[in-house]
Amino acid sequence: MSIHHIRVTINGKLYEGDVEARTLLVHWLRDGLRLTGTHIGCDTSSCGACTILVDGKAVKSCTMLAVQADGRELLTVEGLEQNGKLHPLQEGFHVEHALQCGYCTPGMMMAALALLKRNPDPSEQEIREGISGNLCRCTGYVNIVKAIQYAAQKLREPEQVPAGSGGGGE
């Protein structure tokens, strides 16, 4: 079983470490780097609790090996807030009451972020499709849709300097 030395930029910061080939990226982030905002909810790549951005694209980090992240740029929930300013998605989730237990929330926000990068002005149906790889057992999604609409609007407002949208991963 091969061991690999990897260098990964996460939330703008360089991390290095030795990982077994089989180490799942989510385990390296959580157990290895103590970036525990990224959660685990299933074994089948179904729930999206582990969603992060890799080179700007959302991925379920339970379905990628840590070694595959070598040399790439990652953004996790911990990187959303910039200079003490919440990202519009974080703000939206709070204002619209889009979280209850909070367990799905980081993955949900990361999937939403990927969606808004592709489609800055999504319809309700497009938002629902965009988060359909992420399960929430608490909220019934209605307020999550509103939170994403809130963030989309805030990110579109020209006078608004979108906090944190630069993040890592681009």
Ligand X SMILES: Cc1cc2nc3c(=O)[nH]c(=O)nc-3n(C[C@H](O)[C@H](O)[C@H](O)COP(=O)(O)OP(=O)(O)OC[C@H]3O[C@@H](n4cnc5c(N)ncnc54)[C@H](O)[C@@H]3O)c2cc1C
Question: Quick one: 10 or 47, whose CB is closer to ligand X?
Answer: 47
Q: Cβ 135 to ligand FES, closest distance in Å?
A: 7
Is residue 157 involved in binding other proteins (CB under 8 A)?
no
Pairing of strands 3-10, 73-75: parallel
Q: Cβ 134 to ligand X, closest distance in Å?
A: 11
The tokens for 30 are: 């959580």
> Which range binds ligand FES by CB under 6 A, 78-86, 95-103, 145-153, 157-165?
95-103
Is residue 40 involved in binding ligand FES (CB under 6 A)?
yes
Tell me how many degrees the CA angle 53-88-93 measures, rounded to the nearest 5. Answer: 90
Is residue 46 involved in binding ligand X (CB under 6 A)?
yes
3-state class (DSSP) for residue 4: strand
3-state class (DSSP) for residue 64: coil
Contacts of 143 (CB under 8 A, 6+ apart): 96, 97, 98
Residue among 3, 5, 45, 142 that touches ligand X (CB under 6 A)? 45
Residues making contact with ligand FES (CB under 6 A): 40-42, 45-50, 60, 62, 99-105, 136-139
